[in-house]
Homo-oligomer: A and B are copies of this chain.
Amino acid sequence: MSEKLEQLKERLGEVSDLQHAASVLGWDQQVNMPPMGNEARGQQLATLSKIAQEKFTSDEVGRLIEDLKQELAGADPNSDEAALIHVTARDYDKAKRVPPEFIEEQAIVSSKAFEAWLEARSKSDFSIFQPHLEKVVELVQRYVSFFPPADHPYDTLLDDYEPGMKTADVKAIFDGLRPKQVKLIKSIAKSKQVRDDFLYKKYNEKKLVEFGEKVISQFGYDWNRGRQDKAAHPFETTFSVNDVRITTRYEEDAPLATLFSTMHESGHAMYEQGINPAYERTPLSGGTSLAVHESQSRMWENLVGRSLPFWEHFYPELKKLFPAQLDGVSLKTFYKAINKVEPSLIRVNADEATYNLHIMLRLELEIGMVDGTVAVRDLPEIWNAKMDDYLGIVPPDDARGVLQDIHWSGGSIGYFSTYALGNLISAQVWEKVRKDIKDLDDQIRKGDFSALLGWLRTNIHQHGHKYEPQVLVEKVTGSRIKPEPYLRYLTNKYNEIYGL
């Protein structure tokens, strides 16, 4: 390794250490922190993030990147070293464009917007949130202005989550999907409905959590390099490739959601546990993009965890644990229940068939806010009209409508589409997995996930943040992200369940 590369890696290592330290503090805040600890913790996190930013955007890092670009000019662009310089240069350029004062201003505006959002949601009064969201949008537009003009201003935002991806690509994908997904939901609505009352009985929390832990152990989540704790919101967080943690919560109203949430987070975590250890403490660690990350969590949650072969293996055990709750419920009935389709108001509770429509609605509004064609004050009205169009239901109040998500209050505009793209990628990759592992269903039926996890490790996980998402997806599946596999998956599944 050249001396300059070593110097750069040392500096990047420090930045990574600071970011991971912040992740530990953030995890502790969600999992352990006593109520009064919040103020000091906020200050500590702000300091860590400020120093990490200062260290990363130092002139020395800039010089090293420039020198190494020249040094590696003739190298294979797919080599780890060339990729490291490419990715680091891209992140550096972005970071340098945003003035520190802007970041501070954004932190203050977001913090106030978050408070206002909490109040607005609890009172179901959009007017409380509106002026704050207007400021958030203004800041987002200012953020975009720091970058060279793109085809669409939303491109700049999207690029932060999905490097290389364009608004036009996402629109094209979703335009191909939306009418067919709406049609599918309508024909399901006309079919005979499935029974799922037994999912909403009381289930013992401890037993359910232990069952979930057994399942993800069998998936291949490595407890020597992770742990699960309780938190108000389920999430995955990474402190190093050897310390990847998840959280769960017990949902009183829908106890089995706990189980699917654990599978979901384990998908994120197994991804992180599978990244090439040589990328540690560099910008090549972490997943490819949010969408690719979500493809892994969704795959384990849905394509595996809501499949019939999976439950052929695990249902007898679940039934033994909860004989009263599942008395007289056959495997088929259970399987149909956990795949029930029902248009609903709240995104996070949506089923597989309707979920993407919640996302498309948000994406359209975001694009409009950013390019100025949608005014913040009109959001509630447009929201409700689109809900009616896509899902055939209208929120009775804004708390269950435009005010339901936290994202905008924190300035996260550009994030939502990654959820839907993750669903698409999961199905697209799944078709390839099934080609490569012919007896996958049989293996799952035996509770054996080793070939599947091995395949994902080799084809996706190990590459970390090295490739852009479209490049990786094309490398793995032979084509860029497209809606057809997901649509095929949904259609096949629901044809069978609903006898369409």
Contact = CB atoms under 8 A, between A and B. Distances in A.
A205 interface: no
A213 to B, nearest CB: 14
Given A32-B227, A227-B32, A243 B41 contact: yes
A288 interface: no
B21 A243 contact: no
Contacts of A48: 17-18, 21
A248 to B, nearest CB: 15
A240 B18 contact: no
Interface of A is mostly: helix
Nearest to A281: B43
Interface centre among A14, A44, A245 (most CB of B within 10 A): A44
A103 interface: no
Nearest to A226: B34
Contacts of A224: 34-36
A40 B239 contact: yes
A378 interface: no
Contact of A47 (B14, B36, B223, B239): B14
Nearest to A37: B243
A24 interface: yes
Contact of A40 (B22, B37, B44, B243): B243
A39 B243 CA distance: 10
B243 A47 contact: no
Nearest to A280: B40
A485 interface: no
Interface string A39-69: 1110110011001000000000000000000
A243 B13 contact: no
Contact of A37 (B13, B14, B25, B242): B242
A269 to B, nearest CB: 11
B242 A39 contact: yes
A400 interface: no
13 contacts: A13-B43, A14-B51, A17-B44, A17-B47, A17-B48, A18-B47, A21-B21, A21-B47, A24-B44, A34-B225, A34-B245, A36-B222, A43-B281
Given A37-B242, A51-B51, 8 more contacts: A13-B47, A17-B44, A24-B28, A34-B243, A37-B239, A40-B240, A40-B242, A40-B280
